[in-house]
Each structure stands twice: as structure tokens, then as C-alpha cells.
Chains A and B, each alone.
Chain A
Amino acid sequence: MAVRHLNVEVRREDGIAVLDLEGEINGFAEEALSAAYAEAEKQDPKTILLNFEGVDYINSTGIALIVGLLARARASHRSLLACNLSEHYVEIFNITRLSDFMNVFPDEESALSGEV
């Protein structure tokens, strides 16, 4: 089974850097995710939103990568948000307590309006 490598597009909406994620968040995603996050940081946004709409698989290594991004965000006093997670991955964000440290929104609109 072919791995769907992660592609990330970075854009800016209402002062928030949005990372549109597409593919799988696993060990192969580290470089793409880190590079996209660094690109987003160049804009010095107060908030970075991870948009999971195009993501159909996150494994434990992917969870670790998200923990790493969250640590980077906290170290630079930025808020990290998430939106468009499937019901299953919302549950995983809850049991890992990621949702205690980053707000999870059902869609991009609510994420943007919740922070602006």
C-alpha cells in the first residue's frame, strides 16, 4: 500500500497562519511539517491553525510530531489550533490530552472566528 506523503500549503487568513495538511501524518511527514511550520513562523503570527481536512491517517509518530509543533508554539508564545479533525481523531486528541493544550474546532470558519 502506497504511503500518501504529507503535503502542506501555508496561507494567511485574518492574521492567522493556516497550514492546510493533506496526506498522512506519520514518520514520513516530519520534514514537510517542520518546514511548513517554519515558513508560517516567518510571518510572526500570534496564532497558527492546523487544518486537518485533507488528512485521513495520523499514527503515534504523527502525534509526536504534533506535540513537537505544540512545544515550538508554546516556546514562542503562539497559540496552536486545530480544525477539521474527524470524529476519531478528535477522540485521540482528547485521550492524549492534546485538546487540553490546543483548541480544536470543527471547521476553519469557527477556528478563525474564535480567535479573531
Chain B
Amino acid sequence: MTDPKPARTDADLGRTLADFSVASEPGNERLAMETVAEAVRVLDVSGENLERLKTAVAEATMNAMEHGNHYRAELPVEVQVLVIGRDLAVRITDQGSGPPPKEDGDAPDLAAKLEGMQTPRGWGLFLIKSMVDEMNITGDEGHHTVELVVHLEPEGGK
């Protein structure tokens, strides 16, 4: 993993809390997850909200390593943690080509999976969408980016 760069302020993007990459190797999604959790300690994200964010980051990183970078270790997954206005945004970028994954696929059908009519897998995007306030997917010829957005409580809020 590259070292997290020092936090900086950018008038256009807001505040960058972390900017790092991990190699596309199985298990590195936990490294990304824990690094993001450490980066957001300065914010009021804790308890179950933090656990949800960690799961979303881990799943998005795993998707990026598997589907975007095909677990080629030399291809990094880049992670940016930003505060934009009252939102926390985590952007996870792979080196994949082709169309980005669809955001609005059907929810997995557990009954069908139990009957053997669907593969037991296919929970990743569903979990991500369930764990954060927004999930946005963009892509160009050489990258896919999944943006996870969490609306932060106003200061002095609940």
C-alpha cells in the first residue's frame, strides 16, 4: 500500500482525508477498509454508521480488485476519502475497461439461490447500496470509479 498522503484542503473538492492505493491482492479490501476507518476518525462517524461504511468500502474495493483489475497485483486500486460540504465521499477507482457495473441491478433473490436457480454469490453491489446513503458509478476507457456517499450529521445534530 502507498502511504496515505497528508490531508490537504482543496477549495473545489473540499477536504481530502486520505488518498492511497492498495495492490489488487485478495484480502487487501480489509487494508482499505481499516485505512478509511482511520481517516474518518476526525469526523462524527462511529458505531453502526462506521461499520456500514467499512463494509461498503471493503465490498467496493473487492469488486475493484476482482472485476476491474482481475486480481493483477501490479494494478492498484486507488482510494480517496473526501469531505464535500456535509457529505463524506469515498471514491474507489480500478483500472478496468469496458462499461462500468450497473448501479440498479435487481436485489439478490435468496430463495432462488437456495433453490439452486441462482449462484450463491452476487451480494457485493447490493450490500454497498444498502450500507451508504448514495452509490455513484462512473467510468471512462481505462477506469471505473465507485463513489460512496454518507451524509454527515450537522454539527450539534443528533
**Contacting residue for A64 out of B26, B30, B34, B121, CB 8 A:** B121
Give the shortest distance, in Å, between A2 (CB) and chain B (any CB). 8
Q: Majority SS of interface residues in chain A?
A: helix
**Interface hub of B51, B110, B115 (most chain A Cβ within 10 A):** B110
In the complex, the answer to whether A3 meets B30 with C-beta atoms within 8 Å is: yes
Give the interface size bracket for B toward A: 20 to 34
- Give the nearest-CB partner of A74 in chain B: B114
Q: Is residue B127 within 8 Å, beta carbon to beta carbon, of the partner chain? A: yes
Contact-residue size bin, chain A (C-beta under 8 Å from the other chain):
20 to 34
Contacts of A70 in B (CB 8 A): 114
B27 within 8 A of A: yes
Which residues of A line the B interface, CB within 8 A?
1-3, 24, 26-28, 57, 59-61, 63-65, 67-68, 70-71, 74, 86-88, 91-92, 95-98, 100-101
- Flag whether B8 is at the interface (Cβ < 8 A): no
B115 contacts which chain A residues (CB < 8 A)?
71
Q: Is B46 an interface residue (CB 8 A)?
A: no
Q: B120 to chain A: which residues have CB within 8 Å?
A: 64-65, 67-68, 71
* 9 cross-chain CB contacts under 8 A: A3-B27, A59-B58, A61-B62, A64-B120, A67-B120, A70-B114, A88-B52, A88-B55, A91-B48
Q: Find chain A residues with CB under 8 A from B34 CB.
A: 1
**B113 to A67, Cβ gap below 8 A?**
yes
